[in-house]
Structure formats: C-alpha cells, structure tokens
Structure 1
Amino acid sequence: MIAAADIAARLGLHAPTAEQRAVIEADPRGQAIVVAGAGSGKTETMANRVVWLLANSHVAVPEVLGLTFTRKAAGELAERIRERIAQLVSLGIAEVSLDPLESASVGTYNAFASAIYREHAMLIGREPDAAVLGEASAWQLARSVVAASADPRLVELDASLDKVTGAVLSISRALAENVADSRDVRAMARDFLAMQGLPIEAPRKRTDFTSFVDALGVVEALPPLLELADAYSAAKQQRGFVEFSDQVALALAICERHPEVVAGHRERYRTVLLDEYQDTSVVQTRLLSALFGEQAVMAVGDPDQSIYGWRGASAANLARFGRDFAAGGEAVVYDLSTSWRNPEIVLEAANTLIEPLDAGIPKAPLGASPFAQPGRLDAAWAETIEREAELVAAWFAERLGRGGRGGVHDGAPRSGALLCRTFANVGVFTAALRARGVPVHVLGMAGLLDQPVIADLVCVLRVLNDPTAGSELVRVLGGARWRIGSADLAALHGLAKWLADRDLSTRRLGDEVRAGLRASIAPDESPSIVDALDFLLVAPDSHSALSAFSEVGLARMRRAGAQLQSLRRRAGLGLVDFVSLVQQELLLDIEVAANAAQPLGAPSLEAFDELLAGFAEVSEHATLGAFLGWLTEAEQRDRLAPRQDEPEPGAVQVISIHGSKGLEWDVVAIPRMVDEELPSKPRSSKGWLSFGELPNEFKGDADELPELAWRGSQSQAEFDRAVSAFAEENKERHAEEERRLAYVALTRTRSDLLLSGSWWASQKAPRKPSPFLRELVTTGVLDAGVLPAAPESDENPRAGSTERVRWPLDPLGTRRVAVTAAATAVRAAAERPSGEGIGPVLADRIRLLLEERRRRAEGATSAEVPVRVPASRFKDYVDDPAAVAAQLRRPMPQRPYRATRIGTLFHQWVEQRSTGEHEAAAIDALDGLDGLADADARRDETVADATPERLRALQATFEASEWGGRKPSAVEIELHLPIGDNVFVCKLDAVYEVEPSSELGRRGIRYQVVDWKTGKAPRDAHDLELKQTQLALYRLAYANWAGVDPALIDAVFYFVEDDRVIRPDAIYDEAALRRAWASVAAAGPVPAAASR
C-alpha cells in the first residue's frame, strides 16, 4: 500500500495531518462520516482521498462519484481531483489508467438526481425531456392555477392571491421533498377538524381558546391548499415540466421500483463522496441511501453549519448517516478539527458559542493551524445605530483603506464582508461606509431593490397594480418628483376615510351597511389613498371634501394622479414594454444620468430590466401582478440562499449570514449583535400551525422536530397546553438555529473580526447586547469593558433629537439657487429671437457645431472601437467597418426573430444535457412555442419554419452526431482574450478532450473546440475565412486560459440543421489575428458609410 504521506511527498504537497491521514486512508469499502469543521480543508482532503484510492488500485477514475450542493463547490472539487490525477500519471506514481473520455463524476446533488430521472423517466411513465421550472416560471404557473380555481373555500382563507400562491408552492415542494402523499395529509386534517366540538373546560373562561380557533383555521386551509398543490403538480406534468424537487422524488421512485437501476449505479460507482451532507434534504438522503446503502460511502459535513432547515435540511442528518447507510447501523466517525482559515482568537469565540449545542454526533472543537494568522477579535458597542455604523465603517477603512494597517495583504488589497442577520438597517451601514470612502457592494436582489431608483420604480408599479398600496403611494408622492407635504398627505388620508363611508355617487352609506363593510375587511386594512387620488381628478375645487388640501398640494396630486391613471390605461401592453413606459414617464433615465451622487442608478436600472426580461421570457402572458408577487418571494429566497460571488479585493461585500456559508474574506464585521436581532426574535413560534405549512408528522425528520400532541385532547384547555409546549419547543429549536448562524458568521474571516451593536435603533426600549456577546464576555474571550452596563439615555436619543428638517426634502438641496439660475438663463435664451445677444466667441462655436452636424449628415464621421468586442464581430470589423460604425453610432434594436430564439434554446439544451443542470428561466421559454408558431408565421414568413418541431429536429440531429454520446470537459464558458488595446469576449459552446497527443504520449491530450451553429453554413471560401476568425479567437482564448499549446487544440463548426461539420483548412494563429486586428486599429476610428 502506498501511504498518503508518501503520495503527498511525491506530489510536492504538505504532509497530511494525523486526522487527514485517517480520512484519506479510511477503509475503501466501508461507510464513514467525516465531521469537518469550518475551514478545515475538506475539499483538499477529499481530493487526496480519491488520489489514495486510485494510487492503491481500489477504484478506477470513472468509478468515483463526488456530490455537493453548488456548482462552485463541485467545480473546485473536480478541479482538485483532475489536478491530482494528472500529477499521479505524469510522475508515474501508480498504474492509473487515464482515458481522456472518462473522468471522475463530480457534480451537484440536483444534477445527479436529474441525470437519473432523464435516463430512466420512461420506466415510470414520465417524459425524460421535461423542462425544469425555474423560480419565476414555477411562480407564474402556480399563480395561474390558483387564479383559475373556482373553489369557494379560497374566499374563506382571507389571503391574497400571492400569499396563496406562495403557500401552494411551499406545500407542493414540501410534499415532494418529504415523499409525502397529499391524501394522507387530508386524512390527518379531517381527524384534526373533528375536534371542533371540544369543550372549553377552563374556569372563568366563556369563549373559545384563541390557540384552538387559530389552529382550526390553519388546518381548515390545508384541504384546499393540498388540492391546489395537486392541481399544480398535474399542470406541470401536463405541460411537460418538473421542478428540482420533483426530479429527486421521481429519481427515488425509479430506484425503489426498479432494482436494476440501483444495481447499475452500484456497478458504475465503487466509491462515493457526499459533501455538505448536513444540508441534504430527506428525499435526497433517501435517494442516496437507496442507491448506495452498505456501499463505500463517505459523508462529509458539519452539524454546526446546518443553517438551511427552511429548505428541508436537517442538522441530524450526519447523526442518522450510519442508520441510513451502514449494515449494522454504525459508521466510522472521523474528525477534521484543524481550521486552516481562522485565527486562534476567532476560533475560541466560535467554539464558545457552539459549545452548548448537542450535534448528535461526536465533534472535536476547532483548533488553529500552525500557520494561522495572528488575527484580531474586536467588539464595538455604541449608544445609537448611527454611531455603531460609524465605528464599523472606521474599522473597515483602517483595514481596507490605502493608508490603513493591513490595507494590503500579500501584495493584494484585502477583501471584507459585512454579514447581516437581516437587512432592515443595512442602509445605515452602507451610508456610513460610503461616507468613509470605503467601496461597498450589497450582493443579490437586496442590493438591487434597495437602490433608490429601483425602490421608486417598484413603488409606482405596486400603486399601478394594487389600490391598497398606500405606503408605496406615500413614498411616491413625498419623493423628489412630486414633493407633497405631510399636511396634504394627511388630507389625502382623510379623503380616503371619507370615501370609504360612501357609495359611487358619494352618498353616505347607512349605518348597517357601513358596519357590515367594516366587519368584512381585515383589521389592518385601511381606506385606499390610491382611490382617493383618483377621486381628486374628478372632484371640483369647490368640493367640500377637498377643503383640507393646499392649492399647491392639490395641483401636484392631480398631476400625479393623471400620470398614474394614464399609465393604468396602457397596462395592456406586454410586461416589459409597460415597465419601460413607466420608466420613461417617470423620467428615471434622465434622473440617473443627471444624479452624480448616485452612480449606481443606471447600472441598477439595467440589472432590473434584465431581471424583468428573465421573468417575462418564461411566459407569454406574464402580468405585472405576478411579477411583483414573485419579486417579493424571490428577494426573500435570495437572501437565504448560499451565494457563489467571489470576494472583491479592496471592497466590503454586504451579504446575509445565510448567503455567506462556504465563502471567506480577509476581514469580517457582524453588526447588530443585539437581542432580538442576532439571535433574531422568531417570527412565529407556531411551527407547522402556520398557513401553508406541511404538518411535522409528514416530514422525514419528524423524530427530530417538535411534536404537537393534539391527538387525544379532551378539551380546549388541554389542547392549549399542548400548543404552549409545542411553541416552547419551536422557540428552543429557533434558538439553536440562531446559534449555528452565529457560528457560521464568526468562521468566515481569515484575519480580523468585528462584533458590534448599539442600544438604540428605531425601537422605544433599548436593545440589550446579544446573549452571544454576553457569553463571550463571561467566558473571557472578550474584555468585560467592551459592553457598558446601561445606555446613557433612558429614552431613545434618536426620537428626542432636536434636529429639524423640512419635509419633503428638497432634491436639489444647496444646489437649488444655482440650478434655478441656470434654468432661468436657458428659458430666457430659448425665448429670445435667434442670434440675439450672442457674442463673437459663442457665435464661432455655434458655427463649428453646425459644420460638424453637416459633415455627420454627409457621412464624414466615424465611430470609436469599443474596448470589449464580441469574438463574433471580429470578422465584421475586418470585412465591413462601415456597417459596424453605423451600428455603433446609432444602435438599433434587433428584431428578436424566432430562429434566434430557437438557436438560444438549442444551446441551452446542449448545456443542460451535458451538465445535468438547467439555467432555469430560459429553458422554460420552450413553453408556448407550439401556440406561437402560427402567429409568428403570420407576422413574418421568414420565421414560418421556426416551430417546436424544428427545435426537436435539431436536438435529434445532435444526438445522432459524433458529439451526441460524448461528455465535454467544458461547456458554455466565457473567456476574455486581450489583443492590443481591446478585449475579445469569447463564449465557447463546448470543449472536448480527444485522443492522447502522439507527440506528447501519455503526458498530454488534444482538445477540440466546437461551435454549434443553427443557421446556414458559409456561402463561399471568403465567408468561411471570415468566420474562422471566430474559431481562431476561441482556440487562442482557451489555450491561454487552460495553459495549453494552441497547436494541441482543434476548432470546428457544426451546422446542426445541415448535420455538417466544417473544419477550416487553416485557422489564424495568434500572429495572424494580431496582424488582422492591427490593420483595424491602425485605421483609427471605424469609418461610416456616406449617407445618400
């Protein structure tokens, strides 16, 4: 046997620690659990485990399966394994067979389940080519199912369309993820509702217990929600859709019903590595257990980092591993307890916070590596949140600023992160950072939607869609555009209350009718100020209900109301067109261009437009209401989901703690470590007694979840006691989850960590320091002096501030005098006769401008070549610079021909076929192709043949081609190739490894870059020569990126529709490309064709 230490020495790696060596050399045929703490080097250890297995001939390369959660993690593990295998072969350490067409299978859990489903779907009567629904398309389909329902029980739910949609999606996914049957849940609901006649049996209590009434209401909602969930599932199947959760559940069904599928996978994979096992869901665990139970499986995870319970993960997964996989119910447990990331002081704090938790499995405390940085653990406590934000900003400025200590580390600027439990007060901190000159980037949708220009736009969209969007209308009216004062807003609210008591002719309703109306609406539903604004447009100035309005305020409100009413009349436009119209009417494009104080305005609008287009792309009938509902849901999920963003040197990334898992930065700050924020106050302790929740007894990890002992209750009082005990268990479970969140947050830093808090934010009572901070002080990890005993003020000093401001704020501020003077001068000049008052200097400049305009009209102009150039445009610059210049000078939107859309879909289909994963939104655009084919043909004969049948024909042709049965080593990658002063953006469709190079023997392989084409083949030799420049750029870009000799890379076009492969006889090398581009650059700006 070749020892792990010997292999490491031969490969030039650090010698493995005793813990790592035990993991690497574990029984090749046994079941093992590796409890790997944060930053403990599990990816490196897993890769070295594979190398050891290969070197000792326990497995062959293609017999290795590695699964993890994110593409980023899968890519890192796959890259490590590839590198180690290549080293094994090149150094001749072991007789390892290296077939260029075979490699270890490393991917995500969802991709693995998807591959099983697609390969064997027909065994259970399902469609293998079903498109995977993304979040946007799933939301729209579920919403359409709910909207189409005529179930009268939905009226009794007292829930909005969007709330019911969210509940249907939640319960549908919960059923799939827990392999539960909706019929069983309905039967449980019937049993539960049979308690309706329970007696109260409580002294001096005459009314029903609130807990009893609320629970009955929640369970009464289950049957209609379950029926909608079933209808949603039927709609997915009918339309050829699945979700990721469906694929896993269906893959499990395949394995349970067809033992030959299980046998095939056991024969194919002799060793299995399961990464981040604590985050697997019930259905994923059951699938993996069915496939690989009692096989050679190693699960790696950390129960203390199980923070995704909201999506079905369970901290008890690792503890149950032996029962699920090992023959005798026991698996060998290994530890990786050395952190290669965190300083010792940070680990001391993290271990202190996590120590009270029982992980259900032995785990050694994390210790620092011999190479750990010194690091610092700082704490800052302030009187107010504003002062806290200033302290945090100063701390980052010292570490990231050019003059600060440690601003540069190892020759590169340091990276930083602000990890937030919630985003409620994030604006205070980002403002403080920007005031200090610290670059800051709020990651994800939260950063986008919090941008002022986007917040204003979304508010207007909500007002246009929902007459109850009162708070959004207040923001719009009180903002920079309309500047309505508080007195007039109060008058508008008064008008809304006046209208609420009147009929359409504004006659006062009778007392009985008004009482009935009040009883029919929710307690928190207020009269609509949106309707009141509409009333202002028809009411005369003399109307008695308008007496409280100022003259200026009334005029502005009428202008605002007229604009909103005009926009509503055009709401029949397509979603993208309508939102674009709203942006134009609000002058947002002009606003962001003119507002130098908000440089992110224009990029934010572009990002929002991309988000909107992605949503609209998955449905031909996307509505504004559906988009706004999805936006709320998507923002929440985005904040909780793990992110894959790379750290930004020299900047602070703002991210949720949930999103930070798996990432690391040089310096990290965790703000708002105050009671009820971190740990957060539970939104509810009701557990599954909440709208749209699957009861715990139907969840696969029910044994670890709080139990509501409702069966056998003889009275409402007894039931109330059961609910109280259930609520306490839910609170304890929430507290454990918050403790794990704090542990994850603390272990993200490589060097310095700051924990901060303050007594006062917006609340009426002071917030105490977080119990986590108090624990660190009590145990001596933090100095007791960092936490003052009490606030300086007994009342919120922010509320008692003597600062007075005028509201609404003047958007021009101190610039108003100068801007007003400039505007006056412009108006005066516009009103003067032409030429009057113009001096000789200005007259000469005007003459030059007019001459320039004349020359431009004659075509005597040019266009600068942009720095970034798509590789596909290289030939255009060389062959037809005039057309390029015309497009650069006056960009015209390109008509979205159906053929182009089919080409896009074909490329995405090839990608998902190769990777087993799906870029959700665009794939769902397949839906509706059938219904639109005829309409497209009527609109333009050139796309009459662009039907779903054409796409299917392209797919069939590809599958029969030489690439149909091959697995690419890279697919749909974007590479940047600098040539001269320009950067060419190369988007490679696929790269394949082919036969070993004869000149390099076993030391190297050849590569083939393939560019799929769904259009027409080149017309002639000249056309082919121009097109081959694209392949030449791709070849050179990949060679530079992969560190491969370009001579070992072939490049071909595959014109799928014609089933024709074109291999150019000659492809430009780097020198030829540079010469061709030099001729373009030497000519200067690209000349445009003359106008006629």
Structure 2
Amino acid sequence: MTTAMGQRVEGGATAGLDPDQLEAVLAPRGPVCVLAGAGTGKTRTITRRIAHLVESGQVNPEQVLAVTFTSRAAAEMRERLASLGVSGPGNSVAAQTFHAAAMRQLRYFWPMTFGDLRWDLLEHKFRMVARVAREVGIDVSDRDLLRDLSSEIEWAKSSAIGPDQYADAAQRAHRDVPTDPRTVMQVFAAYEAAKVAPNGDRLLDFEDLLIYTTMILQSDPSIGEEFRSRYRSFVVDEYQDVTPIQQNLLDAWLGGRDDLTVVGDANQTIYSFTGATPSYLLDFTRRFPDATLVRLQRDYRSTPQVVNLANEAIGKARGRIAGTRLQLVGQRDAGPEPVFAGYDDEISEVVGVVAEIRKRIRAGVPASEIAVLYRVNAQSEAYEEALAEAGIDYQVRGAQSFFERPEIVAAMRRLTSLAGGPPPPMQPVDAVRHALHQVGLTESEPKGANARARWQQLLRLVEIVETIASEAPELDFAGVVGKLDERSRMRHAPIGGGVTLSSMHAAKGLEWDAVFLTGLHEGSMPLGRASKTVDEVEEERRLFYVGITRAREHLHLSWSLSRGEGRGTKRRRSRFLDALVPAPSAGLDLEPLPERTEPDPDVLKALTVWRKEFAESHEIMESNVMSKTMVRTIATAVPTTLEDLAKVRGFGRARTDEIGAAVIAVVDSALPGKTAGRK
C-alpha cells in the first residue's frame, strides 16, 4: 500500500486508495475529522488529501500547514509529500511539529509586539528549577525531586494551568504529586518569575513557545491577519494527543475559520499524564456540526488474527472513548493465532520468551523485526541478560541499557567501593540493600515519576543480587558484587539490527513482524498505581491495545504468577486478558498434569543434576535453563511424551522444541519401568 520513498505516485493523489481513504481525500475544504484505526493508512490518507487539494487547485502548497507531534513523524510526512510532488523547492507544504512551527512564527512576530526586548530558548528546565528550589528552601541534592518538579511544571503549562491553579487541578487530575502541592506552586511561581530579566528580556521554555505565539496572534489583529493570509489550510495528525495549549494555538491559527483536517484515534490515547486529552477529537463534530466524518477501519498492518484480538481487547473499554470505538477489519492473509503463555515466575517467563524468539529467528524472522514490549523500563534488564546469554543482539529503545542507566552506574560505583573494604556485618543481600539506601532505594515506593523510576531500577538490581546469592550461597559480599560486575560486563553492546526492547509507550507508532507483550499481570498491566479510577484503568487498557496492534503477524502474550523462584504464586494475570485467553479445550493447558500431587524424588534429583550440567556445558545460569519451580512441576507431572511436556504449566511449546527431548530422556532414565503404559 505504501509508495516507495522519492517516487511520484502514478495516477495522482487518489490512486490505489480504498473507499474510506478516498472519501477522506476527496472531502471538500472545511472541517474534516478522520478517525483512523491502527494500521489503516492514516499518514497515507492525510498526505494524499493535501496532494489532492493542491492538484485540484483548491489551495496553494505554501498555504498549507501540517502539524504533528514528533520530528520523526514530521519528517515522514515531508517525505511522503515530496513523493507526491507537493513538497520541494518553491512548491512546499509546511510539515512540522507544533513546537517547530511556533518557534518559527515567534521569531518573526516577536519584534512586532515586544520591540527591542529579546528572548532565548530555555531548552532544559532542570537548572532553573534547581535554582529557584534552592531559594525556597528545598534540598536540591534530591535530583529526582527536581526532575519531578520540572515534570509537574511542564504538565501544568501544557494544560494551561497557572501556579495559583496548580493544587486544585492536580487533585482533580489525580496527579502523583512528588511533594506538598503548595511547595510545587511556590516553585512553579518562582520559576516563571525567574525567566524574566529586570530589563524585560525573557527565557522561554518549550511550552512558552506555544503560549506566546498564541498570545501574539490573538492580541494584535494585524499580526493575526498577516499570519492567516499566509496559511489558509491546516492538518493535524494524532489529534487525540493534543494538549490545551496546542489547541489554543490551533484556534489562534484558524482565527474563526474552519479549513481544518484532523486525524486521530481515541483508542490510542495513552499520554494523558503529559496533559494530552482526546476531548478535542471527541468533540470535533459538536464544534463543527457540518464537518465531514470519515472512519478508516481497514487494517493493512496486521493479520486478521491479531486484528480480531485487538478488537476484543478494546471492546471491553468503558467510558466516553468507548463510544467512538473503531472496529478494525483485517486485510492481510490469515496468520498464526496469538500465543498466550502463563509462567510460575518471571525467570521462567523470560526464558520462555527468549526460547520463542530463537524459534522465530530460526524460522526466518529477522531479529530486527522482533520486539519485546513491557510496561516499565526496569523490566528490560532480564531480557537484556537472557538475550545476551543466548547470543542474540538487541537494542533498547527509548532508554539506555540497564547497566548504563545513571542510577545503576551510581549504585555499581558504590557497591564496588564498599566491596574493597572490610566485609559488612550482615548477609550479602541485606548489605546491598543497605548500601543502596544511599542512592535512592527506600523501603517503600516513593512519590513522583522520576523518583519511582529510579526506585524500580534499584529494586531490580537487588533482585539480581538475590538471584546471584541463591545460586552461590557461599559467596560473601565482595564475591556477590564481583559476580554482579561480571554480569554487567557480559552484555552485548546494543546495535541497530537486533531484537528491540521497548516500553509500550515508546513503541507507539512502530510495528514489527513479531511482538512479545510481557509482564501481563495485575500490578504491571494495569500498573498498580494506575488503578485508582476508571479513567486510569481505561488508559492502561488502551496502552495494552497499542501493544497488540504493533504486531504484523506473530503475537505472543505472557505473564508470570510470582516475581521469583520460591516466592509463591501471589499474582494473577491481567484483567485485560479475561475472555481473551482460549479455554484449555482450545489447546491451551496451563495446569500441571494431574497424575501426582508431590514431585517424584528420583525425577526431581535427576532433573536437578541435569539442569546444573546443562547450564555448565552451555555457560549459562541454571535459572536460564528452567527455574527450580519448573523442575519441581515437571517432577510432579512426570511427562513422558513431548506432547505432555508442552502441557506442563509454564513450559510450553517453545521450550519443548528447545530442550524437550533431553528432559523426557532424563525423566525416562529416572523411572525405568515406572512409566510403562503412559506413553
């Protein structure tokens, strides 16, 4: 469906479009709202619409302003417009981000309003926030608090909320306020004042670019008229992610006119925490009663199996957005059914996922067309290690690899320093926990997004230490830290062509042949702190939907019932999987085989010895072969065929293909003559 980059489309802007896309492209000038589901060709449609308006003489290309949210999306739009012949030297549609467009306009119009006063861009808030925080008596050594204060100021400004309005607005929005709201208000007010010099010169942050441009266009009719004589037709991509100040700027651009095309999907609203709101998309036809409304529901990205699962998942949505639901219709040939896999613990889940990745690679799927998606970045570490152990290259999207993250670098530096001194008077794991208190590992989860992210990373580091200590109980503190350092140095350097590891948020707008949605248990999906209100749970559901719709062909959904070996099955799979997971009669059996209730001692011993020998021969950790819990489960079920082994809860087909024959051989050798008649 896509046009080769740089090639002009034969047959003009309407060539090769489906009926719905064609309706959107041919809609008359005026208000047009395109509800475009995942994989339905929204960028193709809006660029063809622009090209049609130009080709038909309805608008000059220089009079069109198309805006989106990321530089990558704007560049893609420009490339597609160039291939259509409507973006180039002397014949160019402006395709920019909101901020890039505002900056360009502000540089031109500023002198007309402010005369000789100057402004400079404040690219980062952190230093300014730190300065004013110190002045109001805040401990500026807490860098996480400073980052969270910066984030709160950014959210408030994006939401068109001033310092005096912050506390009430934060309460209504259920903000995770990092400190007392009055303190945030005080810092916010001081920050705004500090940006204005005594002579009137100003520092403007990125939100100010939009705010000041809006103010100038609205306050001076002659400036507004000059702008509107330049731009007459507007297109907004990803309209469900517009913030109040972006909408205010769009209104100033329009100046009461209605030559506006918006494209969005309320089901992909996942950035409410930044101030984005789908209300403008949902209310578009109320604001413009004569608007043309087009729904794009033909999905060209994913197989019908993936599309059907996505529809089922979002079909459970509640609230106002649910009323705008798009029912996607898959256009590709049939593919494999999505795979659901439950595991006893996180280690088993990681091992099972990596085994399935190896299977996909052997089947011909390029590693670069495989993605592992998770809810929070701290979950990447286990997959980084397992992929490195398996010799599979990977890249971490939207974040540094685990041992390169600043909080982990600081933690390793501290642990290494302490390991060179006298041994601490406590067990190694307790000593590590105590040492990490100095770099942010508190007893309970802290407030504030940045502080919490640091805490999650440090907690993951402790879990790694617990694994090391359990596998080598003879090690002292220095030995455990040495193993930890060795583990950090084992990692492959991330490269561009490997398996992608990404949070679900960072994966939006991307797609792969094979996608693994991991950690789908309560507390992770939905995130525990995001379960206070229906709106928060529904945003998590939409994030789950976004994750599903990243897959073109292969989709693997997994969860685990505990954090680690021997910790018990204290979790349940995500509520979003209810009614999605096939019943056991459909071929998915997540329960142990029923023949025994306790492990056979001979099989348990044989499997334990085999696991150790297999790990040593392959130079991997025993837990990466299978967990202790899995060893006991198999010794309890005593499977004697590959089919029975694949049914053991948490083992699955992928590992059966990898090591199933060896496991069955061990079971048979441990029980000579006892398993006759079971095959």
TM over 0.5: yes
Helix, strand or coil at the partner of 2:28: coil
Q: Under a length normalisation based on structure 1, what TM-score does the superposition of the two structures give? A: 0.45
> Which of 446, 450, 453 matches 2:403?
450
Unaligned runs of 5+ in 2: 1-7, 436-441, 446-474, 599-604, 610-618, 620-679
Q: In 2, distance between residues paired with 1:430 and 1:109?
A: 35
Q: Is contact 1:399-1:414 (8 Å) kept?
A: no
Cα deviation per residue 1:556-584 (whole Å; 9 max; x = unaligned)?
99xx9xxxxxxxxxxxxxxxxxxxxxxxx
The equivalent residue for 1:339 is: 299
Cα distance in 1 between the residues matched to 2:321 and 2:11 = 38
User: Which of 266, 279, 286 is the equivalent residue of 1:303?
Assistant: 266
Asked if residue 81 in structure 1 is aligned to residue 81 in structure 2, the reply is yes
| Whole-Å separation in 2 of the counterparts to 1:407 and 1:491 | 44
Task: Map 1:72-151 to 2 at 5 A.
Answer: 72-85=72-85, 100-125=89-114, 130-135=119-124, 138-147=125-134, 149=135, 151=136
Judging changes above 3 Å, is the alpha-carbon distance between structure 1 residues 228 and 776 closer, same or farther for their aligned structure 2 residues? same
- Partner SS for 1:660: coil
Q: What SS is found at the alignment partner of 2:561?
A: strand
Is 2:350 aligned against 1:384?
Answer: no
Q: 1:980-1017 CA distances to partner (integer Å, 9 max, x unpaired)?
A: xxxxxxxxxxxxxxxxxxxxxxxxxxxxxxxxxxxxxx
**Alignment-mate amino acid for residue 50 of structure 2:** V
- 1:405 is matched with 363
SS in 1 for 2:354: helix
Equivalence map 1:457-606=2 (5 Å):
457-459=409-411, 473-474=414-415, 476-478=417-419, 484=423, 487=426, 597-600=490-493
Alignment of 1:575-974 (within 5 A): 597-600=490-493, 648-649=496-497, 651-682=498-529, 730-762=532-564, 765-777=569-581, 783=586, 785-788=588-591
Q: Does the CA contact (< 8 Å) of 1:124 and 1:254 recur in 2?
A: yes
Tell me which residue corresponds to 1:176: 157
Q: For the Cα contact (< 8 Å) 1:456–1:475, is it kept in 2?
A: no
Matched residues in 1 for 2:444 and 2:385: separation?
A: 33
Secondary structure of the structure 1 residue equivalent to 2:580:
helix
Paired residue type of 2:96:
G
Check conservation: 1:349, 1:781, Cα contact below 8 A. no
Pair 79,374 (structure 1): closer, same or farther in 2 beyond 3 Å: same
Measure, in 2, the Cα distance between the counterparts of 1:787 and 1:170.
43
Matched residues in 1 for 2:433 and 2:588: separation?
52
Q: Secondary structure at the match of 2:89?
A: coil
Cα deviation 1:389-448 (Å, max 9, x = unaligned): 111111111112xxx22335xxxx65111011023333222222233332222223341x
Distance 1:11 1:123 in 2: 42
Instruction: Provide the rounded CA distance (Å) in 2 between the counterparts of 1:746 and 1:48.
Output: 27
Equivalent position of 1:895 in the other structure? none
- CA distance in 2 between partners of 1:48 and 1:330 (Å): 22
Secondary structure at the aligned position of 1:10 is classed as coil
Deviations 1:204-236 (CA, angstroms, capped at 9, x unpaired) = xxxxxxx9xx99x94543553343333444479
Tell whether the 8 Å contact from 2:14 to 2:25 is kept in structure 1 after alignment: no
Checking the alignment, whether the CA contact within 8 Å between 1:31 and 1:294 is kept in structure 2 is no
- Residues 474-527 of structure 1: CA deviation (Å, up to 9, x unaligned): 56535xx6694664879989999xxxxxxxxxxxxxxxxxxxxxxxxx9989xx
Identity of aligned residues (%): 24
Post-superposition offset of 1:753:
0.7
Task: Tell me, in whole angstroms, the C-alpha distance in 1 between the residues paired with 2:533 and 2:570.
Answer: 22
State the secondary structure of the residue aligned to 2:528: coil
**How much has 1:320 moved relative to structure 2?**
2.3
Task: Confirm or deny: 8 A CA contact 1:485 1:553 kept in the other structure.
Answer: no
In structure 2, relative to structure 1, the CA distance for the partners of 1:427 and 1:100 (3 Å cut) is: closer
How far residue 330 of structure 1 moved from its aligned partner, in angstroms, is 5.3
- Cα offset, 1:275, TM superposition: 0.4
TM-score by length of 2: 0.71
- Is this contact kept in 2: 1:236–1:242, CA < 8 A? no
My pick for the range that moved more, 433-442 or 272-281, is: 433-442
Letter in 2 for 1:435: E
One-letter amino acid of the counterpart of residue 350, structure 2: A
Contact 1:665–1:748 at 8 Å: present in 2 too? yes
Do 2:65 and 2:234's aligned partners in 1 also have CA atoms closer than 8 Å?
Answer: yes
> Alignment length, in residue pairs?
552
Using the alignment, how far apart are the partners of 1:139 and 1:286 within structure 2? 26
1:247 pairs with one of 209, 220, 224: 209
Decide whether the 8 Å contact of 1:456 with 1:476 is kept in 2. Answer: no
Conserved? CA contact 1:381–1:757, under 8 Å = yes
Determine the structure 2 residue equivalent to 1:727: none
Q: CA deviation at 1:172?
A: 2.9
Match of 2:283 in 1: 320
CA distance, structure 2, for counterparts of residue 236 and residue 299 of structure 1: 42
Shift of 1:26: 0.4
**Does residue 424 of the first structure (1) align with residue 413 of the second (2)?**
no
For 1:274, the equivalent position in structure 2 comes to 236
Q: Map residues 5-24 of structure 1 onto 2, 5 A cutoff.
A: 10-11=11-12, 15-24=16-25
| Residue aligning to 1:356 | 316
Cα deviation, residue 661, structure 1: 0.5
Distance 1:113-1:353 versus aligned 2 partners, 3 A rule? same
Between the aligned partners of 2:285 and 2:305, the Cα distance in structure 1 is 34
After superposition, the Cα gap between the structure-2 partners of 1:599 and 1:39, relative to the gap in structure 1 and judged at 3 Å, is closer
What is the rounded CA distance, in whole Å, between the counterparts of 1:658 and 1:343 in structure 2?
22
- Counterpart among 257, 261, 265 of residue 219 in structure 2: 257
User: Residue type matched to 2:69 in 1?
Assistant: F
- The answer to whether the 8 Å contact 2:71/2:96 transfers is yes
Q: 1:70, 1:108 within 8 Å by CA — same for their partners in 2?
A: yes
Q: 1:291 pairs with 253, 262, 265, which one?
A: 253
1:34 shift after superposition: 0.4
1:180 match: secondary structure: coil
Secondary structure at 2:377's aligned position in 1? coil
Matched residues in 2 for 1:553 and 1:433: separation? 28
Distance 1:442 1:40 in 2: 27
CA distance in 2, matches of 1:451, 1:377: 34
Unpaired runs of at least 5, structure 1 = 1-6, 87-97, 193-210, 462-472, 497-521, 526-551, 561-585, 604-646, 686-729, 795-800, 805-813, 815-1092
CA-CA distance at 1:597 after TM superposition: 3.6
Distance of 1:495 and 1:752 partners within structure 2:
44
RMSD (CA atoms): 4.5
The aligned residue for residue 66 of structure 1 is 66
Q: Can you list the C-alpha shifts for 1:168-192, whole angstroms capped at 9, x where unaligned?
A: 4234323422333334558x79x99
Partner Cα distance (2:215, 2:416) in 1: 51
1:375 CA displacement: 4.3
* Distance in 2 between residues matched to 1:657 and 1:277, nearest whole Å: 20
Distance 2:117 2:364 in 1: 55
Alpha-carbon distance in structure 2 between the residues aligned to 1:663 and 1:319: 24
How far apart, in 1, do the equivalents of 2:504 and 2:310 lie?
14
Alpha-carbon offset, residue 354 of structure 1: 0.8
Q: Tell me the residue number matched to 2:655.
A: none
Relative to 1, partners in 2 of residues 1:787 and 1:331: Cα closer, same or farther, differing over 3 Å?
A: farther
Distance between the aligned counterparts of 1:741 and 1:19, measured in 2? 26
Cα gap change, 1:101/1:781 in structure 2, threshold over 3 Å: closer, same or farther?
farther
* Residue of structure 2 equivalent to 1:924: none
Question: Does structure 1 conserve the Cα–Cα contact (< 8 Å) formed by 2:299 and 2:328?
Answer: yes
The whole-number CA distance in structure 1 between the counterparts of 2:81 and 2:518 is 38
Q: Is the 8 A contact 2:267 2:325 kept in 1?
A: no
